[in-house]
Amino acid sequence: MSTANNLPINQKWLLKRHPDGLVKPEDFEFVEEPARIPGNGEVLVRTEYISVDAFIRTSLNKQEGFHMAVPLGGLVTALAVGRVIESSAPGLAAGDAVSGPLGAQTYGTFPAAMLQKVDDRLPISTYLGALGLTTGLTAYFGILDVGQVKAGETVLVSGAAGAVGSIAGQIAKIKGARVIGIAGGPDKARFLTETLGFDAAIDYRNEDVAARIKELAPEGLDVFFDNVGGEILEAAIANIRTRGRVAICGAISQYNDQQHVKGPSTYLKLAENYARMEGFTVLHFAERFAEAGAELAGWLASGQLKMPEHIEPGIESFPIALQKLFTGGNMGKMLVKP
């Protein structure tokens, strides 16, 4: 049993001020304090990887949206994986690997009911990436249930070099679709085609996205999986086919100014082409998480699915990692390793 004299020191990030536009390191406060001894039904966890996700930015605003707002002075929200180092709860023992909303910190004491025990025969970071709630599972349901991708269809994915987009595109390929990815810069474009097996890529920083969509999909798009919003969403809707589907997963281009979100001016194309646009979050599919996880794990094991990781070392790097996520500084899953 721990005592107050030998508890580990927890390093954590608190919200100091609500960000104005792109997050900055000065929006956060770095604090060190002793971890707390677990009470009855609780466990003390050492964080091994922190998931850096776009939703974190939406939780830092003054107004609460879909994601609960972090109060000033509160621990910054983040999903993470770690290991139990002390337990006062049945079902979890020291050494067990767990995942859950551990936050942007190195240690934390939690009710065991908040955490999920994971199989550590796989690298523990897999449960934030390919098997993660905000990554693999999100991509799975967005492509298969919302997008309803079928063999032979043409699929466009925005934010395709990021965590969700890279998995979404690969799942579409597994299902026999022709996949075009949108990403920023020639290196990311090559990453999509040469590493992930996409059929084509559009470099939005150096190419005319609308023109390239027409060139690469002259008969139109059957499915558009959107992580970006804004002008890219407009261009995709303008090229949607009859009975096409637009799956709204995210809109990272809009998160820094949610008081002035720009909607698509081309939305009448949906009516013209008897197409539909549907938003979703992974939580709408909670009863099927086990099913999706099993199929994703099978694709990983067979080599059909890849999940490259971008790891920023040290808990001190968390604010910069979050900033990089919004400026295109990663390929694959963005993680912080404390």
pLDDT in tens, 298-327: 999 999 999 999 999 999 999 999 999 999
Give the three-state DSSP class for 236: helix
Q: What is the pLDDT of residue 222?
A: 98
Instruction: Tell me what pLDDT residue 65 has.
Output: 56
Helix/strand/coil for 110: strand
What's residue 6's pLDDT?
81
pLDDT tens profile 154-172: 999 999 999 999 999 999 9
* 133-283: CATH superfamily: NAD(P)-binding Rossmann-like Domain (3.40.50.720)
Q: Which long-range contacts (CB under 8 A, 24 or more apart) does 1-7 make?
A: 1/37, 1/86, 2/37, 2/44, 2/86, 3/37, 4/34, 4/37, 7/34, 7/35, 7/36, 7/37
Read off the pTM: 0.93
Ranges in the chain, pLDDT < 70: 1-5, 64-67, 256-259
Question: Which burial class, exposed, middle or buried, applies to 301 when counting CB atoms under 10 A from its CB (0-12, 13-18, 19+)?
Answer: exposed
How far is C-alpha 240 from the chain's CA centre? 25
Show the beta-strand stretches assigned E in 88-147. Answer: 97-100, 107-111, 116-117
In angstroms, the Cα distances linking 60 to 162, 163, 196, 333, 338 are 21, 21, 33, 21, 21
Q: Which amino acid is at 315?
A: I
Q: Where in the chain is the domain with CATH 3.40.50.720?
A: 133-283
Q: In the CATH scheme, what is the code of domain 9-128+309-337?
A: 3.90.180.10
Could you tell me how many helices (H) and strands (E) the chain has, helices first?
Answer: 9, 15
The whole-number pLDDT of residue 1 equals: 46
Identify the helix (H) or strand (E) that includes residue 309.
strand 309-313
Q: Give the C-alpha separation, 110 to 328, whole Å.
A: 33
Q: What residues does CATH 3.90.180.10 cover in the chain? A: 9-128+309-337
